[in-house]
């Protein structure tokens, strides 16, 4: 009998809450929204969040990392595609990397969730945001890809298939870089710091993503007066401002605040995490776990918030081999043990992963999508004043998947003097 009681409560509580807020807001002001929109599926059941948080921590444990940005969804989807072309330990290590923190809805496989999320983001392109994405696997001096692998990885994970030329590692790098530039629609990515030395039989996974969100409601630019962004260097930046109703949460114990700003059409949103006071992100980076973040997102409630953000770009070029190895992907890199027998029909004892490289760029600007919305009733707003480093997430509303995760440690602008 006992288990039934909490079950009833779970059902009836949301109904009461929805009714409560609907009657309340209609009395308060005709312009106020009737109820908060439903939340996207939680991060705990999602492979892109599971990989994203772990990869972020691995990247940020290197104290030299600045403006780290990557697409958990693209990395996960490309690894997922390779995983389906592998067997044995190689396959199970990929599966472990993509395992969500909690069972996903209806027990869906990671591969299905990732494939669905990619489709959802691509379909939203042009309304909530402008998005360019490319993913490819490059093959160096190896037997051709199997037809089956090409077909499945292309249709499910949008993976392109390319071969690297016969040249040396410099030529390979140039080929990868040119590919990335096209994928970023002409944007020149930063040079790769790590060297890529592709041996015969190497598979190189590459992702390129460029993102610009369109807010649900436009920000205003304080274009005349520049403000100081207190990052790695103190720089002069244009600040953008908007006061409105946003999901917001303050964790007073950890001195961190979270705000979630919807993008046009409500199909995706930007989540920002920032320490209360001016500090670099080292403390927050260490604190951040998927469990804690999920708790914050769950607790966030719609309230009046005055958001100020720098107009800035975060761009990042990363080689992820070290971090993925540290997270347990070990066999794939080793020519002697890697098993990519599904990638190429004649691959036994040859194919191995030679690199995972990643280009990403996020633009923070003031624009919103086009269309009129009712006025909001903003009262005594909380302040989210982004004049110091913060963490950014872009999540899909429909599937809940994590398209982007990154840190703004430094905003480009005229330097004042070195600090932090
Ligand atoms: C909001 O609802 C609560 C309970 O339903 C009620 O006590 C309160 O007066 C309402 N507030 C407004 C502004 O209507
Ligand atoms: C966001 O997703 C939820 C379900 O996850 C859905 O109910 C809601 O309508 C979506 N909002 C928009 C604006 O698409
Ligand atoms: C998004 O739309 C732009 C402009 O139409 C296009 O160039 C780009 O390739 C699209 N991106 C994706 C991921 O489909
Ligand atoms: C960000 O990048 C875009 C595209 O390259 C550029 O148009 C814009 O001016 C940049 N914004 C800032 C603040 O540098």
pLDDT tens figures, 24-62 = 343 444 444 456 778 888 899 999 999 999 999 999 999
Separation CA 157–CA 121 (nearest Å): 12
Judgement on whether residues 153 and 193 belong to the same structural domain of the protein: yes
Of 11-15, 32-36, 113-117, 281-285, where does mean pLDDT reach its minimum?
11-15
Percentage helix, strand, coil, to 5, in the chain?
35, 30, 35
Q: pTM for the full model? A: 0.88
Radius of gyration of the chain (CA): 22
Judgement on whether residues 183 and 197 belong to the same structural domain of the protein: yes
**314, 294 in Cβ contact below 8 A?**
no
Separation CA 221–CA 240 (nearest Å): 4
Higher pLDDT, 13 or 302: 302
Which is the closest atom of ligand 3 to the Cα of 185?
A: 7
Q: What is the CATH number of the domain that holds 414?
A: 2.30.39.10
Tell me the per-residue pLDDT of 157-168, one tens digit each, with 9 for 90 and over. Answer: 999 999 999 889
CA atoms within 13 A of residue 218's CA, in its CB half-sphere: 10
Mutate to test the pocket of ligand 3, among 71, 120, 122, 130 (most ligand atoms within 8 A of CB): 130
Residue 370 lies in a domain: no
DSSP count for the chain of H helices, then E strands: 10, 17
Alpha carbon 401 to chain centroid, angstroms? 8
Please tell me the total count of domains within the chain.
2
Q: From ligand 1's centre to the CA of 24, what distance in Å? A: 5
Which is the closest atom of ligand 2 to the Cα of 262?
A: 13
pLDDT of residue 347: 60
Residue 36 lies in a domain: no
- Angle value at C-alpha 284, between 283 and 290, nearest 5 degrees: 135
Judgement on whether residues 70 and 119 belong to the same structural domain of the protein: yes
Atom 9, ligand 1: which residue's CA is nearest? 24
- Ligand with an atom nearest the CA of residue 223: 4
Which is the closest atom of ligand 4 to the Cα of 361?
A: 2
Residue 5 lies in a domain: no
Residue 373 lies in a domain: no
DSSP one-letter string for 152-207:
HHHHHH-EEEEEE-SS-HHHHHHHHHHHHHHHTTT--PPPPSS---PPTTEEEEEE
Tell me the per-residue pLDDT of 245-269, one tens digit each, with 9 for 90 and over. Answer: 999 999 999 999 999 999 999 999 9
> Which residues have CB under 6 Å of ligand 3?
122, 125-126, 131-133
**238, 366 in Cβ contact below 8 A?**
no
Q: What is the CATH number of the domain that holds 86?
A: 3.30.497.10
Sign of the dihedral through C-alpha 71, 77, 82, 86: positive
Please tell me if the CB atom of residue 27 comes closer than 6 angstroms to any atom of ligand 1. yes
> Which residues have CB under 6 Å of ligand 2?
37-38, 40-41, 266-267, 397-398
Atom 12, ligand 4: which residue's CA is nearest? 312
Give the position of tokens 């996207």.
Answer: 40
pLDDT of residue 117: 95
**Residue 292 in this model has a pLDDT that exceeds 50:** yes
Judgement on whether residues 291 and 223 belong to the same structural domain of the protein: yes
Of 29-43, 284-298, 370-384, where does mean pLDDT reach its minimum?
29-43
Q: Encoding tokens for residue 51? A: 């990989």
Which is the closest atom of ligand 4 to the Cα of 311?
A: 13
Separation CA 270–CA 254 (nearest Å): 21
Separation CA 96–CA 75 (nearest Å): 14
Separation CA 360–CA 358 (nearest Å): 7
Q: Which domain holds residue 225?
A: 216-311+378-418
Judgement on whether residues 258 and 172 belong to the same structural domain of the protein: no
Of 109-118, 141-150, 346-355, 377-386, where does mean pLDDT reach its minimum?
346-355
3-state secondary structure (DSSP) of residue 127: coil
**Residue 317 backbone dihedrals phi, psi, to 5 degrees:** -125, 125
- In 284-333, the DSSP E strands lie at 301-310, 312-319
């Amino acid at each position: 009998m006992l288990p039934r009681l909490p079950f009833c409560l779970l059902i009836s509580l949301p109904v009461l809450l929805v009714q409560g807020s609907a009657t309340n807001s209609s009395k308060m002001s005709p312009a106020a929204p009737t109820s908060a929109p439903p939340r996207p599926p939680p991060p705990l059941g999602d492979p892109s969040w599971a990989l994203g948080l772990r990869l972020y921590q691995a990247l940020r444990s290197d104290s030299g990392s600045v403006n780290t940005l990557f697409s958990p969804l693209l990395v996960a989807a490309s690894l997922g595609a390779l995983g389906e072309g592998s067997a044995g330990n190689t396959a199970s290590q990929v599966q472990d990397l993509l395992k969500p923190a909690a069972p996903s809805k209806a027990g869906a496989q990671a591969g299905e969730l990732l494939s669905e999320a990619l489709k959802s983001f691509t379909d939203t392109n042009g309304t909530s945001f402008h998005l360019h994405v490319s993913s490819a696997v490059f093959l160096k001096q190896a037997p051709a890809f199997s037809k089956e692998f090409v077909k499945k990885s292309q249709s499910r994970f949008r993976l392109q298939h390319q071969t690297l030329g016969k040249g040396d590692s410099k030529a390979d790098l140039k080929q990868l870089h040119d590919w990335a530039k096209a994928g970023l629609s002409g944007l020149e990515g930063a040079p790769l710091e790590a060297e890529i030395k592709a041996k015969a039989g190497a598979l190189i996974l590459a992702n390129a993503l460029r993102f610009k969100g369109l807010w649900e409601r436009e920000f205003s630019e304080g274009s005349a007066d520049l403000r100081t962004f207190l990052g790695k260097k103190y720089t002069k930046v244009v600040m953008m401002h908007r006061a409105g109703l946003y999901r917001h949460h303050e964790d007073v114990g950890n001195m961190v605040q979270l705000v979630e700003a919807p993008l046009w059409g409500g199909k995706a949103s930007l989540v920002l995490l920032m320490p209360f006071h001016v500090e670099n992100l080292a403390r927050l980076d260490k604190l951040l776990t998927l469990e804690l973040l999920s708790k914050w997102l769950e607790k966030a409630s719609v309230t009046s918030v005055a958001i100020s953000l720098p107009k800035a770009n975060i761009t990042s070029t990363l080689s992820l081999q070290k971090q993925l190895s540290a997270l347990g992907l070990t066999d794939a890199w080793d020519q002697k043990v890697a098993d990519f027998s599904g990638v190429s029909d004649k691959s036994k004892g040859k194919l191995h992963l030679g690199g995972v490289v990643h280009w990403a760029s996020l633009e923070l600007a003031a624009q919103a999508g086009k269309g009129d919305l009712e006025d909001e009733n903003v009262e005594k707003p909380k302040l989210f004043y982004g004049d110091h480093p913060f963490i950014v997430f872009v999540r899909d509303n429909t599937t809940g998947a994590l398209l982007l995760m990154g840190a703004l440690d430094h905003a480009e602008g005229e330097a004042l003097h070195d600090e932090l």
